[in-house]
Amino acid sequence: MPKNPDSLPGFTETLVAWFAQHGRCYPWRETQDPWAILVSEVMLQQTTIPTVLGRYNEWMRRFPNPEALAVAGEQEALRSWEGLGYYRRVRALQATARAVTEQYSGIFPQDEAALRALPGVGEYTAAAVLSFAFNEPAVLIDANVARVLARLYNDPTPIDTAAGKKLLRRRAEILLSRSNPRAYNSALMELGQTYCTSHSSLCESCPVRTFCRAKDPASLPVKKQERTVSSLEHWDIWCLSDRGLLLDLQPPTVRHAGMYRLPQRPREEAEALPHLRDQHYSVTRYKVTRHLHRALLPSLPRASEQFIPLARLDFLPLASPDRQLVRTMLSLQESAAIVSDSAPQRRSKTSPRVSQNS
């Protein structure tokens, strides 16, 4: 039988041996608990490893098993997820926790079809649980793996086309270790995070350089659709009274459903108010600029808006940019109040730190 041109004899063993010696230790690599694996996979979607490392252990202490998250309130789950972004992920995770608790008495099924029937568990996540928790030979293709495979085979087929995806899967299946898929999948991802990254390729010291056919690694992988970045602006109000800070509870149909945000106003309405500061941040493919204006009392809150006492803010879920801005504003006001307190000619020592509607 003719040799398959895509087979790379010795590649898999070499990669696994390299990983056994040099693989990084992450808490989710030191467990075979499917719940812990699922949590890490969901956190790592669209979030960097350093950010997840800062949150994973705390989350696992709070929700050590599906039952713990299943019985938690939605606001508690959202508050615990703050800073990780993409909040629909934690809602899906909670739905999964409830399904596993109710349908499987808290024990994860070791079966692809059953895993994929769980809410929010797609092809990739099911494969990750099968591979990392149960050491099943499941193919995993994330952005790192796709990049490594495109370079390894020196293939310019766009990886975001049907033909490109088919080729990736075929080659991933050929290379997959049947004896230790858990280590192999981790190793391939780690190669893409360390030697064969989107910014550079350290080919001279790469552990699999003798198998690699790449001629110009920087030109690979090819993508048909490059992501475009758009600008987005919105105008928010800062309205602080002796009843608390005016916040807007987001309705179920929007991105931050169930979370609180600073209230938005139409541009003309906001720009008629004193400007406080601008905030810049990026979300998915948007570069966002938020213009914050001070609203003067009396201001008629909308139905979804309410004054939240400052003491309750830490216990409620706020979108991350809002949490950051609220903290900045309150600390600025506190500093200003301290300065004012030390100037008795301007404010008496009994004045509140955060003045009404300041």
- Residue 353 has phi, psi (to 5 degrees) of -60, -45
The one catalytic residue in 13, 30, 41, 190 is 41
Q: Locate 248 and state its tokens.
A: 């807007």
Q: How far is the CB of 46 from ligand SF4 (least distance, A)?
A: 24
Stretch that binds ligand SF4, among 69-77, 209-217, 263-271, 340-348 (CB under 6 A): 209-217
- Please tell me the count of residues contacting ligand SF4 according to CB under 6 A: 14
> Is 182 one of the binding residues for ligand SF4 (CB under 6 A)?
no
Contact flag: residue 34 with ligand SF4 (CB under 6 A) = no
117, 202, 254, 339: which one binds ligand SF4 (CB under 6 A)? 202
Name which position in 128, 140, 144, 151 contacts ligand SF4 (CB under 6 A). 151
- In sequence order, which residues have a C-beta less than 8 Å from that of residue 353 and are 6 or more positions away? 333, 334, 337, 338, 341
Would you give the binding string for ligand SF4 spanning residues 152-171, x where CB under 6 A is met? x-------------------
Cα angle 311-313-319, degrees, rounded to a multiple of 5: 170
The amino acid occupying position 286 is Y
Among 206, 249, 270, 295, binds ligand SF4 (CB under 6 A): 206
201 binds ligand SF4 per the rule CB under 6 A = yes
Torsion-angle region of residue 158: left (phi > 0), alpha (psi -120 to 50) or beta? beta
Q: Is 8 in the site for ligand SF4 (CB under 6 A)?
A: no
Q: 203 vs 313, which CB is nearer to ligand SF4?
A: 203
Cα–Cα distance, 12 to 137 (Å, whole number): 13
Q: Does 118 bind ligand SF4 (CB under 6 A)?
A: no
Stretch that binds ligand SF4, among 61-69, 135-143, 198-206, 254-262 (CB under 6 A): 198-206
For ligand SF4, the closer CB: 208 or 354: 208
Q: Is 41 a catalytic residue?
A: yes
Nearer to ligand SF4, 23 or 109 (CB): 23
Is the CB of 96 or the CB of 186 nearer to ligand SF4? 186
What's the rounded Cα separation, in Å, for the pair 3 and 172? 17
Interacting positions 218-277 with ligand SF4 (CB under 6 A): none
Give the nearest distance from C-beta 204 to ligand SF4 in angstroms.
8
Residues 131-150 that bind ligand SF4 (CB under 6 A): 148
Residue 72 binds ligand SF4, judged by CB under 6 A = no
Task: Identify the residue among 130, 212, 240, 329 touching ligand SF4 (CB under 6 A).
Answer: 212
Q: Does position 217 bind ligand SF4 by CB under 6 A?
A: yes
**Least distance CB 191 / ligand SF4 (angstroms):** 6
Contact call for residue 127 and ligand SF4 (CB under 6 A): no
Closest to ligand SF4 by CB, 132 or 153: 153
CA distance 259 to 247: 10
196 binds ligand SF4 (CB under 6 A): yes
Which residue in this structure is represented by tokens 């003798």? 210
94 touches ligand SF4 by CB under 6 A: no
Residues that bind ligand SF4 (CB under 6 A): 148, 151-152, 195-196, 201-203, 206, 208-209, 212, 214, 217
Q: Which residues are catalytic?
A: 41
